Amino acid sequence: MRSKILWILLAASLALNVFFVGMFWPRLMGHGHPHERPDPVAMAAEDFALDDRQLAALQDLRARIAARRDERRDNRGGFRSLIVEALRQPAFDRAALAQALDARRESGGDMVLDMTEDLHGFLAGLSAEQKADFLARAEQDRDFLRRLLFPPRPRKDRGPG
């Protein structure tokens, strides 16, 4: 019986050690928390060897896209607000919700065109090799453009409850 308890304690100790090493080793080695993402602009500057002018153009592009996104968000409700409004109605009106969703999608179409036009202008300022590397990354990594061009939104306090 006594040796069984020792083996259980040894296994528990080993499991805790592995857990703590897995949690803290990356931070001790300077890698930060696994859920923390490095700055995508800094990574792009390093990966594509952007000079100061190109880096400033990328930061400006990112700021313009964020401002447009925020402006459009302020001028119209999001999908969630449309859905909540439909749920408030005493009877579900599928046609009205479909029309509201279609109108919202159409109003956002210009944003994609504007963003693509701005991004095209940014790419024109890169060397041929930088542009090819950028486009290859955009094709291979489906989240690359989203991470690079859309700064994270500030989290709203959810308040008590």
Greatest CA separation found in the chain?
Answer: 75
Alpha helices in the chain (DSSP H): 2-28, 40-47, 52-75, 79-88, 94-124, 128-140, 144-149
Position of tokens 């594509």? 48
* Domain carrying residue 129: 39-149
Asked, for residue 83, whether it belongs to a domain, the answer is yes
Cut 0.95: pTM above it: no
134 has a pLDDT exceeding 90:
yes
Tell whether 30 and 83 lie within a shared domain.
no
Is the same domain home to 54 and 20? no
Residue 120 pLDDT grade (very low, low, confident, very high; cuts 50, 70, 90): very high
Spatial separation of the C-alpha atoms in residues 61 and 74, rounded to whole Å: 20
Q: Are residues 31 and 89 in the same domain?
A: no
d(CA 122, CA 134) in angstroms, rounded, equals: 11
Shared-domain flag, residues 60 and 25: no
Does pLDDT of 31 surpass 60? no
Confirm whether 81 is domain-assigned.
yes
Mean pLDDT (whole number) for 99-120: 81
Residue for token digits 């179409």?
Answer: 109
Residue 134: other Cβ atoms inside 10 A: 21
How many domains, in total, are found in the chain? Answer: 2
More confident residue, 74 or 86: 86
Do 109 and 125 share a domain, yes or no? yes
- Of the two residues 154 and 11, the one the predictor is more confident about is 11
Residue 71 predicted with pLDDT over 90: no
Q: Is 29 in the same domain as 44?
A: no
Q: Give yes or no: residues 17 and 79 share one domain.
A: no
